[in-house]
Structure 1
Amino acid sequence: LNDNDLEEKFVKGSGNGGQKINKTNNRVQLRHLPSGIIIECQETRSLEQNRKIARKRLIAKLDELHNGDQSKIAKKLDKVRKRKSRKRQKTKKKYT
Structure 2
Amino acid sequence: MVRTPTRTPVANAFAERRVGTVRRECLDHLLILGEQHATAVLTAYIDHYNQHRPHRSLQQQAPLSTGTSPPPEPGTSAVRHDRLGGLIHEYRQAA
Task: Tell me the TM-score range normalised by the shorter chain.
Answer: 0.3 to 0.5
Structure showing the higher strand proportion among its residues: 1
**Max Rg structure:** 1
TM-score of the superposition, structure 1-length normalised? 0.32
TM-score of the superposition, structure 2-length normalised? 0.33
Structure showing the higher helix proportion among its residues: 1
